[in-house]
Chain A
Amino acid sequence: MDIQECIHKRRSVRKYLSKEVSNETVSEILDIARLAPSAYNAQNWRFIIVTDREKRKQIADCCSSQHWMTDAPVFIVVCNFHKKLNDMHKEKGMLFSTQDCAIVASYIQLLAVEKGLGTCWIGAFDNDELNRIIHNPALNVPQEVKVEAVLTLGFPDDSKHAAHIRNEAHDFCYFDKWESKDLKKPGFSLKRQVKDKTGFFKDLFSFKVQ
Protein backbone atom coordinates (compact mmCIF):
# COMPACT_ATOMS: atom_id res chain seq x y z
CA MET A 1 0.00 0.00 0.00
CA ASP A 2 1.10 3.52 -0.75
CA ILE A 3 2.78 5.19 2.21
CA GLN A 4 0.49 8.20 2.08
CA GLU A 5 -2.53 5.93 2.09
CA CYS A 6 -1.14 4.07 5.11
CA ILE A 7 -0.70 7.34 6.97
CA HIS A 8 -4.19 8.53 6.06
CA LYS A 9 -5.84 5.23 6.97
CA ARG A 10 -4.05 4.81 10.28
CA ARG A 11 -6.28 5.61 13.20
CA SER A 12 -6.62 4.46 16.78
CA VAL A 13 -8.78 1.35 16.64
CA ARG A 14 -10.55 0.52 19.87
CA LYS A 15 -13.03 -2.06 18.58
CA TYR A 16 -11.84 -5.36 17.22
CA LEU A 17 -13.27 -8.43 15.52
CA SER A 18 -12.68 -11.74 17.24
CA LYS A 19 -10.77 -12.90 14.14
CA GLU A 20 -7.28 -14.08 14.99
CA VAL A 21 -4.10 -12.54 13.63
CA SER A 22 -1.68 -15.19 12.43
CA ASN A 23 1.83 -15.37 13.79
CA GLU A 24 3.08 -15.04 10.22
CA THR A 25 1.43 -11.65 9.88
CA VAL A 26 2.95 -10.44 13.13
CA SER A 27 6.36 -11.73 12.06
CA GLU A 28 6.10 -10.05 8.66
CA ILE A 29 5.30 -6.72 10.28
CA LEU A 30 8.16 -6.94 12.77
CA ASP A 31 10.58 -8.17 10.14
CA ILE A 32 10.15 -4.91 8.19
CA ALA A 33 9.79 -2.66 11.23
CA ARG A 34 13.20 -3.71 12.53
CA LEU A 35 14.78 -1.76 9.66
CA ALA A 36 13.95 1.45 11.54
CA PRO A 37 16.84 3.75 12.37
CA SER A 38 18.21 4.11 15.90
CA ALA A 39 20.89 6.15 17.60
CA TYR A 40 24.27 4.48 17.04
CA ASN A 41 22.29 1.62 15.47
CA ALA A 42 21.70 0.40 19.02
CA GLN A 43 18.35 -1.16 18.10
CA ASN A 44 17.33 -0.90 21.70
CA TRP A 45 13.81 -2.14 21.01
CA ARG A 46 12.42 -5.46 22.15
CA PHE A 47 8.94 -6.82 21.58
CA ILE A 48 6.79 -9.06 23.69
CA ILE A 49 4.04 -10.71 21.71
CA VAL A 50 1.04 -11.45 23.90
CA THR A 51 -1.81 -13.58 22.61
CA ASP A 52 -3.01 -15.35 25.73
CA ARG A 53 -6.41 -13.95 26.71
CA GLU A 54 -5.77 -14.08 30.43
CA LYS A 55 -2.51 -12.19 30.02
CA ARG A 56 -4.16 -9.62 27.79
CA LYS A 57 -6.77 -9.06 30.45
CA GLN A 58 -4.08 -8.53 33.09
CA ILE A 59 -2.30 -6.03 30.88
CA ALA A 60 -5.54 -4.19 30.08
CA ASP A 61 -6.13 -3.87 33.83
CA CYS A 62 -2.75 -2.15 34.14
CA CYS A 63 -3.62 0.26 31.36
CA SER A 64 -6.13 2.32 33.37
CA SER A 65 -8.55 -0.63 33.06
CA GLN A 66 -9.23 -0.06 29.38
CA HIS A 67 -11.27 -3.23 28.99
CA TRP A 68 -11.82 -2.82 25.26
CA MET A 69 -8.16 -3.72 24.82
CA THR A 70 -8.78 -7.36 25.71
CA ASP A 71 -10.75 -7.82 22.48
CA ALA A 72 -7.64 -7.19 20.42
CA PRO A 73 -6.22 -10.66 19.71
CA VAL A 74 -2.57 -9.58 19.88
CA PHE A 75 -0.68 -7.11 22.03
CA ILE A 76 2.78 -6.02 21.01
CA VAL A 77 4.50 -4.70 24.10
CA VAL A 78 7.22 -2.38 22.85
CA CYS A 79 10.07 -2.42 25.33
CA ASN A 80 13.10 -0.28 25.77
CA PHE A 81 16.40 -2.07 26.37
CA HIS A 82 18.07 1.20 27.23
CA LYS A 83 21.26 0.09 28.95
CA LYS A 84 23.58 0.33 25.93
CA LEU A 85 22.49 3.84 24.92
CA ASN A 86 22.61 5.05 28.49
CA ASP A 87 26.20 3.94 28.77
CA MET A 88 27.11 5.45 25.42
CA HIS A 89 25.52 8.82 25.84
CA LYS A 90 25.12 9.82 29.47
CA GLU A 91 23.28 13.04 28.84
CA LYS A 92 20.86 12.13 26.08
CA GLY A 93 20.81 8.33 26.21
CA MET A 94 17.34 8.14 27.68
CA LEU A 95 15.97 10.61 25.14
CA PHE A 96 17.47 8.62 22.27
CA SER A 97 16.21 5.28 23.51
CA THR A 98 12.67 6.64 23.90
CA GLN A 99 12.79 8.12 20.42
CA ASP A 100 14.07 4.89 18.88
CA CYS A 101 11.27 2.85 20.40
CA ALA A 102 8.74 5.42 19.21
CA ILE A 103 10.09 5.22 15.66
CA VAL A 104 9.86 1.46 15.48
CA ALA A 105 6.40 1.50 17.05
CA SER A 106 5.21 4.04 14.49
CA TYR A 107 6.52 1.76 11.73
CA ILE A 108 4.59 -1.15 13.23
CA GLN A 109 1.41 0.93 13.22
CA LEU A 110 1.82 1.86 9.56
CA LEU A 111 2.73 -1.67 8.47
CA ALA A 112 -0.35 -2.99 10.28
CA VAL A 113 -2.57 -0.72 8.17
CA GLU A 114 -1.13 -2.34 5.09
CA LYS A 115 -2.24 -5.74 6.37
CA GLY A 116 -5.76 -4.47 6.99
CA LEU A 117 -5.15 -4.44 10.72
CA GLY A 118 -5.86 -1.77 13.28
CA THR A 119 -3.69 -0.68 16.18
CA CYS A 120 -3.94 1.58 19.17
CA TRP A 121 -0.96 3.01 21.01
CA ILE A 122 -1.39 2.73 24.77
CA GLY A 123 0.97 4.94 26.71
CA ALA A 124 -0.86 5.23 30.00
CA PHE A 125 -0.20 2.25 32.19
CA ASP A 126 0.76 1.36 35.72
CA ASN A 127 4.41 0.88 35.16
CA ASP A 128 5.33 -1.19 38.21
CA GLU A 129 2.46 -3.55 37.67
CA LEU A 130 3.13 -4.00 33.95
CA ASN A 131 6.83 -4.60 34.51
CA ARG A 132 5.93 -7.24 37.05
CA ILE A 133 3.82 -9.01 34.42
CA ILE A 134 6.49 -8.99 31.73
CA HIS A 135 9.33 -10.00 34.01
CA ASN A 136 8.14 -13.52 34.58
CA PRO A 137 10.49 -16.46 34.41
CA ALA A 138 8.79 -17.99 31.37
CA LEU A 139 9.55 -14.99 29.18
CA ASN A 140 13.14 -14.58 30.32
CA VAL A 141 13.10 -10.82 29.68
CA PRO A 142 16.26 -9.07 30.94
CA GLN A 143 15.76 -6.92 34.04
CA GLU A 144 16.84 -3.68 32.34
CA VAL A 145 13.99 -3.91 29.84
CA LYS A 146 11.22 -1.40 30.49
CA VAL A 147 7.87 -1.05 28.80
CA GLU A 148 7.60 1.92 26.49
CA ALA A 149 4.18 1.38 24.90
CA VAL A 150 1.58 -1.30 24.40
CA LEU A 151 0.20 -1.67 20.88
CA THR A 152 -3.09 -3.48 20.45
CA LEU A 153 -3.37 -5.30 17.14
CA GLY A 154 -6.35 -6.85 15.41
CA PHE A 155 -8.91 -6.56 12.66
CA PRO A 156 -10.99 -3.40 13.17
CA ASP A 157 -14.66 -3.89 13.89
CA ASP A 158 -15.93 -0.66 12.40
CA SER A 159 -15.59 0.68 8.92
CA LYS A 160 -16.20 4.27 9.94
CA HIS A 161 -13.23 6.51 9.45
CA ALA A 162 -13.20 9.32 11.92
CA ALA A 163 -11.61 12.39 10.35
CA HIS A 164 -8.21 13.30 11.71
CA ILE A 165 -8.43 16.54 13.66
CA ARG A 166 -5.06 18.20 13.25
CA ASN A 167 -3.42 21.56 13.16
CA GLU A 168 -2.62 22.92 9.74
CA ALA A 169 0.97 22.40 8.64
CA HIS A 170 1.56 26.13 8.16
CA ASP A 171 0.62 26.67 11.78
CA PHE A 172 3.38 24.50 13.18
CA CYS A 173 6.13 25.02 10.60
CA TYR A 174 8.37 28.02 11.00
CA PHE A 175 11.20 29.23 8.80
CA ASP A 176 14.77 29.82 9.93
CA LYS A 177 13.66 30.84 13.42
CA TRP A 178 10.94 30.32 15.96
CA GLU A 179 7.80 32.28 15.21
CA SER A 180 5.14 32.89 17.78
CA LYS A 181 1.92 31.89 16.17
CA ASP A 182 -1.41 31.55 17.85
CA LEU A 183 -2.56 28.04 17.19
CA LYS A 184 -6.20 27.39 16.88
CA LYS A 185 -7.21 25.08 19.66
CA PRO A 186 -6.87 21.56 18.28
CA GLY A 187 -9.31 18.81 19.10
CA PHE A 188 -7.84 18.31 22.48
CA SER A 189 -9.90 16.21 24.77
CA LEU A 190 -8.65 14.74 27.94
CA LYS A 191 -11.11 12.34 29.47
CA ARG A 192 -9.30 11.24 32.54
CA GLN A 193 -6.22 12.01 34.45
CA VAL A 194 -3.94 9.02 34.29
CA LYS A 195 -2.44 7.57 37.37
CA ASP A 196 0.89 9.00 38.28
CA LYS A 197 3.59 6.62 37.25
CA THR A 198 6.67 6.71 39.38
CA GLY A 199 9.72 4.51 39.12
CA PHE A 200 10.35 4.10 35.45
CA PHE A 201 9.37 7.60 34.49
CA LYS A 202 11.45 9.07 37.25
CA ASP A 203 14.60 7.45 36.06
CA LEU A 204 13.64 7.99 32.45
CA PHE A 205 13.64 11.72 32.89
CA SER A 206 16.41 12.03 35.37
CA PHE A 207 18.68 13.10 32.53
CA LYS A 208 19.29 16.78 32.70
CA VAL A 209 17.65 18.78 29.96
CA GLN A 210 19.64 21.86 29.12
Chain B
Amino acid sequence: MELQECITERRSVRAYKEREVPMHIVAEIMEHARLAPSAGNSQNWRFIIVTDREKIKKISEAANKPWMNDAPAHIAVCNYSKKLTSLYAESGRMFSIQNCAIIASYIQLLAVEKELGTCWVGAFDNEKVERMLQCPEDIRIEAIITMGYPAEEEAKQKIRNEFIDLCFFEQTGDILCRHSGLVKETGYLHFLDKNGNLARARMARGRSEEKPEQEVLHRCGIKREPGWLYYVDKNMNIARAKMARK
Protein backbone atom coordinates (compact mmCIF):
# COMPACT_ATOMS: atom_id res chain seq x y z
CA MET B 1 0.00 0.00 0.00
CA GLU B 2 1.11 3.51 -0.73
CA LEU B 3 2.72 5.27 2.22
CA GLN B 4 0.42 8.28 2.00
CA GLU B 5 -2.60 6.01 2.00
CA CYS B 6 -1.33 4.21 5.09
CA ILE B 7 -0.93 7.52 6.87
CA THR B 8 -4.33 8.88 5.87
CA GLU B 9 -6.10 5.58 6.59
CA ARG B 10 -4.50 5.05 9.99
CA ARG B 11 -6.81 5.86 12.85
CA SER B 12 -7.18 4.84 16.47
CA VAL B 13 -9.31 1.71 16.42
CA ARG B 14 -11.13 1.05 19.68
CA ALA B 15 -13.62 -1.63 18.55
CA TYR B 16 -12.41 -4.97 17.29
CA LYS B 17 -13.78 -8.13 15.75
CA GLU B 18 -13.19 -11.39 17.56
CA ARG B 19 -11.01 -12.67 14.73
CA GLU B 20 -7.50 -13.53 15.83
CA VAL B 21 -4.42 -11.79 14.48
CA PRO B 22 -2.28 -14.41 12.71
CA MET B 23 1.22 -14.45 14.13
CA HIS B 24 2.87 -14.67 10.73
CA ILE B 25 1.38 -11.26 9.93
CA VAL B 26 2.77 -9.80 13.14
CA ALA B 27 6.13 -11.31 12.25
CA GLU B 28 5.97 -9.76 8.79
CA ILE B 29 5.19 -6.34 10.29
CA MET B 30 8.13 -6.68 12.67
CA GLU B 31 10.40 -7.77 9.85
CA HIS B 32 9.94 -4.38 8.18
CA ALA B 33 9.59 -2.28 11.31
CA ARG B 34 12.97 -3.39 12.62
CA LEU B 35 14.65 -1.24 9.96
CA ALA B 36 13.63 1.87 11.91
CA PRO B 37 16.47 4.23 12.79
CA SER B 38 17.74 4.65 16.34
CA ALA B 39 20.33 6.82 18.06
CA GLY B 40 23.73 5.18 17.65
CA ASN B 41 21.84 2.24 16.08
CA SER B 42 21.17 1.13 19.64
CA GLN B 43 17.85 -0.58 18.76
CA ASN B 44 16.77 -0.31 22.38
CA TRP B 45 13.29 -1.60 21.61
CA ARG B 46 11.84 -4.89 22.77
CA PHE B 47 8.29 -6.08 22.27
CA ILE B 48 6.08 -8.36 24.26
CA ILE B 49 3.29 -9.69 22.09
CA VAL B 50 0.41 -10.58 24.37
CA THR B 51 -2.36 -12.86 23.12
CA ASP B 52 -3.17 -14.63 26.37
CA ARG B 53 -6.77 -13.69 27.18
CA GLU B 54 -6.18 -13.52 30.90
CA LYS B 55 -3.24 -11.15 30.48
CA ILE B 56 -5.09 -8.97 28.00
CA LYS B 57 -7.86 -8.60 30.54
CA LYS B 58 -5.39 -7.59 33.23
CA ILE B 59 -3.73 -5.03 30.97
CA SER B 60 -7.13 -3.52 30.13
CA GLU B 61 -7.82 -3.20 33.83
CA ALA B 62 -4.43 -1.63 34.49
CA ALA B 63 -5.21 0.92 31.79
CA ASN B 64 -8.81 1.31 32.95
CA LYS B 65 -10.01 0.94 29.36
CA PRO B 66 -12.56 -1.86 28.95
CA TRP B 67 -12.52 -1.68 25.13
CA MET B 68 -8.90 -2.90 25.16
CA ASN B 69 -10.19 -6.27 26.28
CA ASP B 70 -11.73 -6.85 22.83
CA ALA B 71 -8.43 -6.51 21.00
CA PRO B 72 -7.05 -9.98 20.22
CA ALA B 73 -3.45 -8.82 20.60
CA HIS B 74 -1.58 -6.27 22.68
CA ILE B 75 1.95 -5.28 21.82
CA ALA B 76 3.83 -3.87 24.77
CA VAL B 77 6.58 -1.53 23.58
CA CYS B 78 9.47 -1.92 25.99
CA ASN B 79 12.31 0.51 26.36
CA TYR B 80 15.63 -1.03 27.25
CA SER B 81 17.33 2.27 27.84
CA LYS B 82 20.29 1.17 29.95
CA LYS B 83 22.88 1.38 27.21
CA LEU B 84 21.75 4.74 25.89
CA THR B 85 21.56 6.36 29.31
CA SER B 86 25.01 5.11 30.19
CA LEU B 87 26.37 6.59 26.97
CA TYR B 88 24.51 9.86 26.68
CA ALA B 89 23.33 10.47 30.23
CA GLU B 90 20.09 12.43 30.35
CA SER B 91 19.74 12.89 26.63
CA GLY B 92 20.02 9.12 26.36
CA ARG B 93 16.64 8.84 28.06
CA MET B 94 15.14 11.11 25.44
CA PHE B 95 16.79 9.24 22.57
CA SER B 96 15.53 5.95 23.94
CA ILE B 97 11.96 7.25 24.10
CA GLN B 98 12.19 8.61 20.57
CA ASN B 99 13.56 5.34 19.18
CA CYS B 100 10.72 3.32 20.65
CA ALA B 101 8.19 5.83 19.35
CA ILE B 102 9.63 5.64 15.84
CA ILE B 103 9.42 1.87 15.58
CA ALA B 104 5.96 1.86 17.18
CA SER B 105 4.77 4.36 14.58
CA TYR B 106 6.16 2.08 11.84
CA ILE B 107 4.24 -0.83 13.34
CA GLN B 108 1.03 1.19 13.27
CA LEU B 109 1.50 2.15 9.62
CA LEU B 110 2.47 -1.34 8.53
CA ALA B 111 -0.60 -2.72 10.29
CA VAL B 112 -2.84 -0.51 8.13
CA GLU B 113 -1.52 -2.30 5.08
CA LYS B 114 -2.51 -5.62 6.60
CA GLU B 115 -6.00 -4.22 7.26
CA LEU B 116 -5.34 -4.35 10.96
CA GLY B 117 -6.41 -1.60 13.29
CA THR B 118 -4.27 -0.32 16.14
CA CYS B 119 -4.55 2.08 19.01
CA TRP B 120 -1.64 3.58 20.90
CA VAL B 121 -2.31 3.47 24.63
CA GLY B 122 0.03 5.52 26.75
CA ALA B 123 -1.90 5.96 29.98
CA PHE B 124 -1.80 2.82 32.13
CA ASP B 125 -0.44 1.66 35.45
CA ASN B 126 3.17 0.85 34.60
CA GLU B 127 3.91 -1.01 37.78
CA LYS B 128 1.03 -3.45 37.34
CA VAL B 129 1.68 -4.20 33.67
CA GLU B 130 5.43 -4.51 34.06
CA ARG B 131 5.08 -6.85 37.00
CA MET B 132 2.54 -9.03 35.23
CA LEU B 133 4.69 -9.35 32.11
CA GLN B 134 7.70 -10.09 34.31
CA CYS B 135 9.82 -7.24 33.04
CA PRO B 136 13.22 -6.76 34.65
CA GLU B 137 13.80 -3.64 36.74
CA ASP B 138 15.47 -1.61 34.01
CA ILE B 139 12.71 -2.12 31.45
CA ARG B 140 10.00 0.50 30.96
CA ILE B 141 6.86 -0.24 28.99
CA GLU B 142 6.20 3.03 27.22
CA ALA B 143 3.17 2.17 25.15
CA ILE B 144 0.74 -0.62 24.54
CA ILE B 145 -0.45 -0.99 20.99
CA THR B 146 -3.71 -2.83 20.70
CA MET B 147 -4.09 -4.74 17.46
CA GLY B 148 -6.95 -6.48 15.70
CA TYR B 149 -9.41 -6.34 12.84
CA PRO B 150 -11.53 -3.19 13.18
CA ALA B 151 -15.23 -3.68 13.90
CA GLU B 152 -16.30 -0.20 12.89
CA GLU B 153 -16.51 0.46 9.18
CA GLU B 154 -16.52 4.17 8.70
CA ALA B 155 -13.42 6.20 9.22
CA LYS B 156 -13.80 9.36 11.18
CA GLN B 157 -12.51 12.60 9.79
CA LYS B 158 -9.13 13.48 11.26
CA ILE B 159 -9.20 16.74 13.16
CA ARG B 160 -5.83 18.38 12.79
CA ASN B 161 -4.32 21.82 12.73
CA GLU B 162 -3.50 23.22 9.33
CA PHE B 163 0.14 22.63 8.62
CA ILE B 164 0.79 26.31 8.02
CA ASP B 165 -0.22 26.96 11.63
CA LEU B 166 2.37 24.45 12.79
CA CYS B 167 5.25 25.99 10.87
CA PHE B 168 7.53 28.87 11.55
CA PHE B 169 9.49 30.30 8.69
CA GLU B 170 12.71 32.13 9.07
CA GLN B 171 11.86 35.17 6.97
CA THR B 172 10.71 38.27 8.72
CA GLY B 173 7.08 39.19 8.36
CA ASP B 174 4.23 37.00 7.16
CA ILE B 175 4.59 35.19 3.90
CA LEU B 176 1.46 35.65 1.84
CA CYS B 177 2.42 33.86 -1.34
CA ARG B 178 5.42 31.62 -1.95
CA HIS B 179 7.21 31.54 -5.30
CA SER B 180 9.96 29.00 -4.86
CA GLY B 181 10.39 28.40 -8.59
CA LEU B 182 11.17 32.04 -9.35
CA VAL B 183 14.54 33.73 -9.12
CA LYS B 184 15.11 37.40 -8.58
CA GLU B 185 16.83 38.71 -11.66
CA THR B 186 19.09 41.70 -11.64
CA GLY B 187 18.07 44.69 -13.72
CA TYR B 188 14.44 44.31 -12.73
CA LEU B 189 12.31 45.86 -10.08
CA HIS B 190 10.03 43.33 -8.42
CA PHE B 191 6.90 44.57 -6.77
CA LEU B 192 3.31 43.89 -5.85
CA ASP B 193 1.19 45.67 -8.44
CA LYS B 194 -2.08 47.45 -7.83
CA ASN B 195 -4.07 44.26 -8.47
CA GLY B 196 -2.08 42.38 -5.84
CA ASN B 197 -0.04 40.39 -8.36
CA LEU B 198 3.69 39.75 -8.37
CA ALA B 199 5.14 41.85 -11.19
CA ARG B 200 8.44 43.10 -12.47
CA ALA B 201 9.60 45.98 -14.58
CA ARG B 202 12.96 46.60 -16.21
CA MET B 203 14.79 49.25 -14.32
CA ALA B 204 15.38 52.25 -16.47
CA ARG B 205 18.91 53.51 -16.78
CA GLY B 206 19.08 57.23 -17.12
CA ARG B 207 16.20 59.21 -18.41
CA SER B 208 13.72 57.56 -20.62
CA GLU B 209 10.56 58.89 -22.14
CA GLU B 210 8.97 55.48 -22.35
CA LYS B 211 7.19 54.00 -19.44
CA PRO B 212 8.88 50.68 -18.59
CA GLU B 213 6.89 47.66 -19.54
CA GLN B 214 5.43 45.66 -16.69
CA GLU B 215 5.26 41.91 -16.66
CA VAL B 216 3.05 39.96 -14.29
CA LEU B 217 4.86 36.90 -12.95
CA HIS B 218 2.19 35.46 -10.73
CA ARG B 219 -1.42 36.38 -10.28
CA CYS B 220 -1.73 36.15 -6.51
CA GLY B 221 -4.51 38.72 -6.22
CA ILE B 222 -3.48 39.75 -2.72
CA LYS B 223 -5.74 42.30 -1.07
CA ARG B 224 -3.86 44.99 0.79
CA GLU B 225 -4.83 45.89 4.32
CA PRO B 226 -3.97 49.21 5.89
CA GLY B 227 -1.11 49.33 8.41
CA TRP B 228 1.03 46.74 6.62
CA LEU B 229 4.02 47.04 4.39
CA TYR B 230 3.91 44.68 1.44
CA TYR B 231 7.11 43.58 -0.22
CA VAL B 232 8.80 40.92 -2.32
CA ASP B 233 11.48 39.25 -0.26
CA LYS B 234 14.79 37.86 -1.44
CA ASN B 235 13.25 34.47 -2.13
CA MET B 236 10.60 36.06 -4.36
CA ASN B 237 7.89 35.46 -1.81
CA ILE B 238 5.34 38.13 -1.16
CA ALA B 239 5.47 39.09 2.46
CA ARG B 240 4.13 41.77 4.69
CA ALA B 241 5.30 43.36 7.89
CA LYS B 242 3.54 45.63 10.37
CA MET B 243 4.38 49.23 9.72
CA ALA B 244 5.96 50.96 12.64
CA ARG B 245 4.28 54.30 12.15
CA LYS B 246 0.60 54.62 12.84
Contacts and interface: CB of A to CB of B under 8 A. Distances in A.
B30 A3 contact: no
A175 B34 contact: no
Nearest to B56: A176
B1 A2 contact: yes
A175 B87 contact: no
A48 interface: yes
Interface string B88-116: 11110111011111101110111001000
Nearest to A181: B46
Contacts of A188: 40-42, 83
A196 B90 CA distance: 8
B101 A30 contact: no
Contact of B97 (A2, A36, A39, A95): A95
Interface in B41-90: 41-43, 45-52, 55, 78, 83, 87-90
B110 A3 contact: yes
Contact of B171 (A3, A95, A123, A138): A138
Contacts of A37: 10, 12, 108, 120
Interface stretch (B161-169, B190-198, B200-208): B161-169
B52 to A, nearest CB: 5
A169 B25 CA distance: 13
A14 to B, nearest CB: 13
Contact of B94 (A100, A140, A201): A201
Given A37-B120, A177-B133, A177-B134, A8 B35 contact: yes
Given A169-B30, A178-B139, A189 B41 contact: yes
Chain B contact-residue range equals 35 or more
Contact of B31 (A105, A169, A197, A205): A169
Nearest to A175: B49
A79 to B, nearest CB: 8
B158 interface: yes
Given A30-B166, A106-B106, A178 B126 contact: no
B4 A24 contact: no
A99 B163 contact: no
Contacts of B108: 37
Contact of A210 (B90, B127, B180): B127
A149 to B, nearest CB: 7
B22 interface: no
B226 interface: no
A68 B83 CA distance: 27
A122 to B, nearest CB: 10
Interface string A13-48: 000000010111001001111111101010101111
B181 to A, nearest CB: 7
B163 to A, nearest CB: 5
A41 to B, nearest CB: 7
A175 B4 contact: no
A105 B42 CA distance: 18
B240 interface: no
A71 B40 CA distance: 22
A178 B88 CA distance: 26
A38 to B, nearest CB: 9
Interface of A: 1-4, 6-8, 10, 12, 20, 22-24, 27, 30-37, 39, 41, 43, 45-52, 55, 89, 92, 95-96, 98-103, 105-107, 109-111, 114, 121, 123-124, 134, 138-141, 148-149, 164-170, 172-178, 180, 186-190, 193-194, 196-198, 201-202, 204-205, 209-210
9 contacts: A3-B113, A31-B163, A47-B168, A48-B168, A99-B100, A99-B122, A100-B101, A172-B45, A173-B49
Given A31-B163, A139-B170, A178-B78, 4 more contacts: A3-B1, A27-B163, A178-B139, A186-B43
